[in-house]
Structure 1
Amino acid sequence: MDNKLIKNIVGQFRDIQEQEFWLDENFKKKIGNISEKLAFVRPLPELHSVAELISHILVWRKESILKLKGLKSTLTMESPENWLTNDDLIKKGWEELKSEFYQSQKDIIELIENETDEYLEKEYVDGFKFKYLLEGLIHHDLYHLGQIGIVIKYLNLKN
């Protein structure tokens, strides 16, 4: 059972979420101490709040989980749930949003950690392999982790 690539992908998901790695940043470190009050603040009108960014990452993780399960997904860039407003997210609450976010990573790992590397070459839709999906999720997470860092810097300047 060859699963070196799967193990590498799982390791990257864990690193991004909560491990110490070369980047010296991860989601738990970055958002763990953000207060409920600050989580929903847009430091500039053009910037998303931390909660909006976490929600956006979460919705794409959930869509990817559907694909990993072989289910149909319907989310598009234009879907309203792609970027929920702070007003919508406040109803859920910061702690619940973080909890769902952290759980989504665990769910992804549970779905793939016992697969072989052959699984990565299977297509979830014509022309798109699971390897592409999982690597894309990692890139998406890292991209928005950087954005969250910028938002937090602006929030710290304002307070």
Structure 2
Amino acid sequence: MSWVEIVVSQLKDVYSGSPWYGKPVRTILWEIIPERVGERPDASSHSVFQLAQHMLTWRTFVVEQLNGNEAYKVPLNSEKDWSPSDQINTESWSALLEDFDDNQKILLDLIQRTSTDTFEKQVPGKSYDFKHLIEGIVHHDIYHAGQIVTTAKIVGTYLPSS
């Protein structure tokens, strides 16, 4: 298998497949009680919504960088990186779930259409290449999926299907 085939397979598995560690991101997100996505375990923690929005923001960063949009930036710990808690409701949660599905399709398509030599190039303004960025988003999704489940269990907003 080529690197592209491997990373596409990993992205599919982590998002909606059967990852070896447990449930995929999409299943986890759909098992959250929408009315309570803005609740936090404590004042210093992020809500389920904020964690999911953060994941989507960085997936969007990958798409924008692969599309050559060097102007698209995500300043660390900014409102773009972490959504303010006053924008959270059931409608914004539903929209976020749809945006995740759209992003997954776009990301997979873009990776498969991108010239393989692009993956060895440095991401503009970063110290790493596109291959590292794309592999990193797989790890980022897994990391924050675990946080989402933990946070949702603490605040009582997680209803696993099995």
TM-score by length of 2: 0.85
Written as runs of structure 1 = structure 2, the 5 A alignment for 1:18-29 is 18-29=16-27
Structure 1 residue runs of 4 or more that deviate by more than 3 Å after TM superposition? 114-119
Shift of 1:60: 1.2
What is the CA–CA distance in structure 1 between the aligned matches of 2:96 and 2:22, rounded to whole Å? Answer: 24
Contact 2:35 2:90 in 1 (8 A): no
Identity rate, percent: 28
Contact 1:52 1:83 in 2 (8 A): yes
Shift of 1:92: 5.3
Q: Deviations over 1:130-156 (max 9, x none)?
A: 101101111111110110111122123
Shift of 1:49: 1.2
Shift of 1:112: 0.8
Q: Deviations over 1:89-136 (max 9, x none)?
A: 338521101111221122111101134543321223264211011011
Which residue pairs with 1:109 in the alignment?
108
Mind listing any 5+ residue stretches in structure 2 that lack a counterpart?
A: 158-162
Mind listing any 5+ residue stretches in structure 1 that lack a counterpart?
A: none
Q: Aligned letter for 1:53?
A: L
Query: Closer, same or farther in 2 for the Cα pair 1:115/1:65, shift >3 Å?
Result: closer
Q: Aligned letter for 1:155?
A: V
What secondary structure sits across from 2:123 in the alignment? strand
Query: Closer, same or farther in 2 for the Cα pair 1:48/1:79, shift >3 Å?
Result: closer
What secondary structure sits across from 1:123 in the alignment? coil
Which residue pairs with 2:51 in the alignment?
53
Which residue pairs with 1:65 in the alignment?
63
Which residue pairs with 1:141 in the alignment?
141
Which residue pairs with 1:17 in the alignment?
15
Give aligned pairs, total: 157
- CA RMSD for the aligned pairs? 2.3
Structure number with the higher helix fraction is 1
Q: Aligned letter for 1:99?
A: E
Which residue pairs with 2:38 in the alignment?
40
What secondary structure sits across from 2:89 in the alignment? helix
